[in-house]
C-alpha cells in the first residue's frame, strides 16, 4: 500500500508539473519554405525533438549549440531549433517577429533570397538565413545611429559658439548609449562565432545532415567537405561583424575627439574672458594708483595750489596720462610673458578613404577644427 501511495503521489506531481509547463508559439519552416504555426507545451516539444528540458531554456543572449543532431540557436530575441528537415522559431508572437520572419526567412529558404548555400544541406541554409537576419538587424541599427551622431557632432563642434546646446548634448548622450549597446552586441556575436571556429569538433557537430543522411555523408567523404563549408560560412559572417565593429569603433573615436573639441572650444572662450578680466583689473589698478593724487588734493588742507585755476586741469591730465602709460606697460608685460612659442609643424596623416564621401568630409572637417582650436587655445593661454 505504501508503494502504491508513493507511485500515485509521483504521478500526480508529474501531472501537475505538466499542466503548468510553458507553451511555445512555434513557427515551422520546412526545406521548401512552407510555413505552419502551432502551439505546443515545452515538455511535449523537447520530447518530440529528442532534447532535454535544459536545452530549451535559452539562458544566454546569444548561443549556438548542438544537441542530439539538433542545432539550438539564440540570437538575442530569436530562438530557433534546426533539424535536417525543418526550422522551428519559438516565441515569435511576443516579439513582433512574425512579419519579418515570414517575409525574409521563408522566402530565403524557398530559394528566393541571396543565400549561397542552396546546394548544401538544409541546416546550412537555415544557419545562413538566421545569421544574415542578425547581421542585417545590426547593420540597420548602425545605419540609423551614424547620420544622427554625425549631424549632432557637426552642430556641437562650432568654434563660434560661446555655449553648448544642452539638447544636442542630451541627444549625443542617448546616441552614445545606443552605440555602446551596439558595440556590445557585435562583440558578443563575434565571440560566439569565434568560439565555434576555434573548435573543429563544434564545426563538425553543426553538419547534422552528415551524420543522419547517408548520401550527405558519402558526399562529405568523397569530395565536398561540409565542415570546411561550414567554417567558411561562419568566417564570412564573422568578417561582416568585424567590419560593422570597425565602423562603430570609428564613430566612438569621433565622439571622443568631438568631446575634446567641445572642451577646447569652451576653454578658449573661457581664456578670452579671463584675459579681458585681467586687462580690466590692470586698468582699474592704474586709475586707482594715480587717483591717490586726487585723494591728496581732496584733503582739508590749504596750500597755494588750490588758488590757481589751471592746477585742476593739470593734475587731472597727469592722472589720466600716468594711468594710461602704466596700463600700456602692464599690457606689454602680459603679452611678453604669456605669448607661447609657435607649435611644431605636424605632418598631415593620410587616412584610409571611406565609401561615403559626405561622411569622410565631415570627419576631416571635425579633425581640422580640432587642430585649429588647439592652436588658438594655446595662443589665448
Q: Using CA atoms, how far apart are residues 100 and 113, in angstroms rounded to an integer?
A: 14
Number of domains present in the structure of the chain: 1
Q: Which domain holds residue 78?
A: 18-117
Residue 302, pLDDT score: 64
**Residue 298 domain-assigned?**
no
- Residues 194, 200, 202, 208, CA torsion sign: positive
**Residue 3 domain-assigned?**
no
**Residue 82 domain-assigned?**
yes
Point out the least confidently predicted range of 25-39, 119-133, 141-155, 211-225.
211-225
- Looking up residue 94, the CATH number of its domain turns out to be 2.40.128.330
Contacts of 311 (CB under 8 A, 6+ apart): 305
Q: Using CA atoms, how far apart are residues 36 and 170, in angstroms rounded to an integer?
A: 46
**Residue 308 domain-assigned?**
no
**Residue 87 domain-assigned?**
yes
Task: Tell how far CA 328 is from the center of its chain.
Answer: 53
For 145-166, what is each residue's pLDDT tens digit?
Answer: 999 888 888 877 765 655 666 7
For 188-225, what is each residue's pLDDT tens digit?
Answer: 999 999 999 998 888 888 888 877 776 766 666 666 67
**Residue 257 domain-assigned?**
no
- C-alpha cell of residue 60: 544566454
Residue 338, pLDDT score: 56
Q: Looking at the whole model, is its pTM more than 0.85?
A: no
- Residues 41, 43, 44, 46, CA torsion sign: positive
Q: How many CA atoms lie within 13 A of 227 on its CB side?
A: 13
**Residue 354 domain-assigned?**
no
**Residue 88 domain-assigned?**
yes
Amino acid at each position: 500500500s505504501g508503494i502504491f501511495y508513493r507511485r500515485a503521489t509521483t504521478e500526480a506531481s508529474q501531472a501537475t508539473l505538466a499542466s503548468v509547463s510553458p507553451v511555445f508559439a512555434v513557427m515551422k519552416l520546412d526545406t521548401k519554405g512552407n510555413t505552419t504555426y502551432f502551439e505546443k507545451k515545452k515538455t511535449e516539444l523537447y520530447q518530440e525533438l529528442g532534447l532535454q528540458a535544459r536545452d530549451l531554456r535559452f539562458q544566454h543572449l546569444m548561443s549556438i549549440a548542438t544537441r542530439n543532431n539538433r542545432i539550438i540557436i539564440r540570437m538575442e530575441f530569436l530562438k530557433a531549433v534546426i533539424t535536417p528537415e525543418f526550422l522551428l522559431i519559438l516565441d515569435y508572437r511576443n516579439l513582433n517577429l512574425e512579419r519579418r520572419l515570414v517575409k525574409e526567412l521563408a522566402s530565403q529558404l524557398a530559394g528566393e533570397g541571396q543565400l549561397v548555400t542552396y546546394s548544401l544541406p538544409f541546416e546550412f541554409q537555415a544557419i545562413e538565413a538566421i545569421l544574415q537576419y542578425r547581421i542585417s538587424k545590426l547593420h540597420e541599427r548602425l545605419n540609423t545611429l551614424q547620420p544622427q551622431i554625425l549631424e549632432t557632432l557637426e552642430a556641437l563642434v562650432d568654434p563660434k559658439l560661446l555655449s553648448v546646446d544642452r539638447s544636442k548634448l542630451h541627444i549625443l548622450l542617448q546616441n552614445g548609449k545606443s552605440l555602446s549597446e551596439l558595440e556590445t552586441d557585435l562583440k558578443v556575436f563575434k565571440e560566439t562565432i569565434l568560439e565555434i571556429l576555434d573548435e573543429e569538433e563544434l564545426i563538425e557537430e553543426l553538419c547534422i545532415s552528415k551524420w543522419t543522411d547517408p548520401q550527405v555523408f558519402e558526399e562529405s567523404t568523397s569530395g565536398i567537405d561540409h565542415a570546411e563549408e561550414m567554417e567558411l560560412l561562419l568566417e564570412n559572417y564573422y568578417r561582416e561583424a568585424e567590419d560593422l565593429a570597425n565602423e562603430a569603433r570609428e564613430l566612438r573615436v569621433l565622439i571622443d575627439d568631438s568631446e575634446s573639441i567641445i572642451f577646447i572650444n569652451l576653454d578658449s572662450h573661457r581664456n578670452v574672458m579671463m584675459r579681458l578680466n585681467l586687462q580690466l583689473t590692470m586698468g582699474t589698478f592704474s586709475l586707482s594708483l594715480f587717483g591717490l593724487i586726487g585723494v591728496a588734493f581732496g584733503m582739508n588742507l590749504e596750500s597755494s595750489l588750490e588758488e590757481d585755476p589751471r592746477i585742476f586741469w593739470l593734475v587731472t591730465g597727469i592722472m589720466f596720462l600716468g594711468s594710461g602709460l602704466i596700463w600700456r606697460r602692464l599690457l606689454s608685460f602680459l603679452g611678453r610673458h604669456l605669448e607661447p612659442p609657435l607649435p611644431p609643424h605636424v605632418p598631415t596623416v593620410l587616412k584610409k578613404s571611406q565609401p561615403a564621401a559626405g561622411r569622410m568630409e565631415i570627419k576631416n572637417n571635425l579633425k581640422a577644427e580640432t587642430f585649429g582650436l588647439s592652436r588658438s587655445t594655446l595662443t589665448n593661454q
